[in-house]
């Protein structure tokens, strides 16, 4: 069994993908081809925002978002303590200081109450200027933007949505990648919408930020690439990747997002009576980057993972360390303890999930877990 079956997806879409890639080859416009422009327009429309700027990966998308708002030295950037490293790595890379905030035990997303406490604490301490929030839509479910947007506005903070795992998700009628001032997503192959290599995109309704992102992504260009008005980076989505993504977006919109939700619902129906299954808030729709259960403790997780492995069922631990436990952040001052994040890092386990998973595959995983728990 595959954790995320990209081969099966390719077999399903092979004719269209091969044709799209061969077209790019024969046209020879490998950077910034018309497929990139068309994809950006389509993605912006899909999400419901004015601007989409594609780039080389999701990490750069966060980086470019921070650069567009001039986040840097002396700034505090509030980040959930339980996420992929890049969410806090990029704030640190621009010279800002990540302030780790504990997460909600059910959704694993940043806890709005703790967020506000952290902002007030940083203000009182007076060493850093509260400047931005990077809210992460972990495992495919949007963070609590009703609360977080209000907090950002109240404290005049820039709100960046790290939507690397949530493309396709929504809260009511609002789509992931449309929250806050600016949003970053990733097209890493195993993300909800993935390409065949690295890729990413920035989304915003802010004309000025969009213009700056386009500039920073191409060496701080002014009127053209050889007119350089600021220090930037080189971060673009290859035309081949854009061509692949446009085929994949068709499938994603037509049935993949629907199918993965069907698989997730089936898992939850079968598992909820004996293990802590993911909690999706009312009115939220997840894009299921991961299906993550919570075990009782680290040793139970180890045992469950071992049993699954003997049946050749892959499972993953996202994430084995909370951010403040990472060596790279050992010198970053921790304003508040993050017991929930610490606990999650010991108890979470992500199970195989993808849009092409069959009911039989789900049954196999469920029965192994059930046998283990009933033993």
Ligand X SMILES: *Cc1c(COP(=O)(O)O)cnc(C)c1O
Q: Identify the CA nearest to 313 among candidates 281, 351, 267.
A: 351
Per-residue binding string, ligand X, 196-235, x by CB under 6 A, is --x-x-----------------------------------
Among 136, 271, 308, 313, binds ligand X (CB under 6 A): 136
- C-alpha span between 71 and 93 (Å, rounded): 10
Minimum Å gap between C-beta 202 and ligand X is: 12
Residue nearest to ligand X (CB): 58
- When the beta carbons of 36 and 366 are compared against ligand X, the nearer one is 36
Binding of residue 100 to ligand X (CB under 6 A): no
Closest CB 151 distance from ligand X, rounded Å:
20
Are 76 and 96 in contact by the 8 Å Cβ rule? The answer is yes
Closest approach of ligand X to the CB of residue 50, in Å:
23
CB of 200 to ligand X, least distance (A): 5
Q: Using an 8 Å Cβ cutoff, are 105 and 137 in contact? A: no
Which region, judged by CB under 6 A, interacts with ligand X, from 8-16, 64-72, 78-86, 139-147? Answer: 78-86
* Closer residue to ligand X in complex, CB, 36/369: 36
Q: Which stretch binds ligand X (CB under 6 A): 69-77, 82-90, 91-99, 247-255?
A: 82-90
List Cβ<8 Å contacts ≥24 apart for 313-317. 313/1, 313/351, 313/352, 313/364, 313/365, 313/368, 314/1, 314/2, 314/3, 314/352, 315/3, 315/349, 315/350, 315/351, 315/352, 316/3, 316/290, 316/349, 316/350, 317/348, 317/349, 317/350
Task: Evaluate whether 59 touches 202 at the Cβ level (below 8 Å).
Answer: no
Out of 144, 162, 238, 256, name the contact with ligand X by CB under 6 A: 162
Determine the Cα–Cα distance for residues 257 and 297; give it in Å rounded to an integer: 32
Of 21-29, 81-89, 112-120, 272-280, the segment contacting ligand X by CB under 6 A is: 81-89
Q: Is 192 a binder of ligand X (CB under 6 A)?
A: no
Among positions 65, 87, 246, 290, the unique one binding ligand X when judged by CB under 6 A: 87
Tell me the H-state helices in the chain: 6-27, 34-47, 58-68, 86-93, 112-125, 145-154, 207-217, 239-251, 257-271, 298-310, 339-347, 359-374
- Give the integer Cα–Cα distance in Å for 279 and 103: 13
Beta partners for 99? 78
Q: Which is nearer to ligand X, 143 or 270 (CB)?
A: 143
Residue 212, CB half-sphere, CA atoms under 13 Å: how many? 19
Residues 279-308, mask of contacts with ligand X (x by CB under 6 A): ------------------------------
144 contributes a contact to ligand X by CB under 6 A: no
Footprint (CB under 6 A) of ligand X, residues 17-76: 57-59
Of 353 and 369, the one with the shorter C-beta distance to ligand X is 353
Say how far apart CA 172 and CA 104 lie, in whole Å: 20
141 is a site residue for ligand X (CB under 6 A)? no
- Judged by beta carbon, residue 275 or residue 280, the one nearer ligand X is 280
Contact positions vs ligand X (CB under 6 A): 57-59, 83-84, 86-87, 136, 162, 164-165, 186, 188, 198, 200
């Amino acid at each position: 069994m595959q954790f995320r079956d990209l081969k099966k997806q390719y077999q399903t879409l092979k004719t269209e993908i091969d044709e799209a890639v061969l077209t790019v080859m024969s046209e020879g416009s490998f950077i910034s081809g018309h497929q990139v422009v068309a994809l950006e327009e389509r993605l912006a429309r899909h999400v419901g925002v004015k601007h989409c700027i594609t780039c080389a990966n999701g990490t750069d998308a966060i980086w470019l978002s921070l650069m567009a708002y001039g986040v840097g030295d002396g700034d505090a950037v509030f980040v959930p303590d339980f996420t992929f490293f890049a969410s806090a790595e990029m704030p640190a890379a621009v010279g800002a200081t990540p302030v780790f905030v504990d997460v909600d035990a059910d959704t694993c997303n940043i806890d709005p109450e703790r967020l506000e406490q952290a902002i007030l604490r940083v203000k009182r301490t007076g060493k850093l200027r509260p400047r931005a929030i990077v809210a992460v839509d972990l495992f495919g479910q949007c963070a609590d933007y009703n609360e977080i947007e209000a907090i950002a506005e109240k404290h005049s903070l820039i709100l960046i949505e790290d939507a690397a795992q949530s493309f396709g998700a929504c809260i009511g009628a609002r789509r992931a990648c449309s929250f806050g001032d600016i949003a970053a997503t990733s097209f890493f192959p195993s993300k909800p919408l993935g390409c065949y290599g690295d890729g990413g995109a920035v989304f915003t309704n802010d004309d000025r930020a969009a213009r700056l992102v386009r500039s920073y992504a191409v060496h701080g260009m002014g009127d053209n690439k050889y007119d350089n008005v600021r220090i930037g980076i080189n971060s673009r989505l290859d035309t081949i990747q854009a061509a692949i993504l446009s085929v994949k977006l068709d499938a994603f919109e037509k049935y993949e997002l629907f199918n993965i939700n069907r698989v997730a619902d089936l898992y939850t129906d079968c598992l909820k009576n004996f293990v802590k299954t993911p909690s999706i808030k009312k009115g939220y729709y997840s894009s299921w980057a991961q299906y993550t259960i919570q075990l009782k403790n680290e040793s139970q997780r180890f045992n469950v993972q071992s049993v699954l492995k003997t049946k050749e069922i892959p499972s993953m631990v996202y994430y084995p360390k909370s951010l403040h436990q990472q060596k790279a952040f050992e010198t970053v001052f921790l304003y508040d303890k993050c017991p929930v994040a610490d606990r999650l890092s010991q108890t979470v386990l992500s199970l195989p999930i993808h849009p092409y998973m069959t009911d039989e595959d789900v049954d196999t995983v469920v029965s192994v877990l059930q046998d283990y728990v009933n033993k």
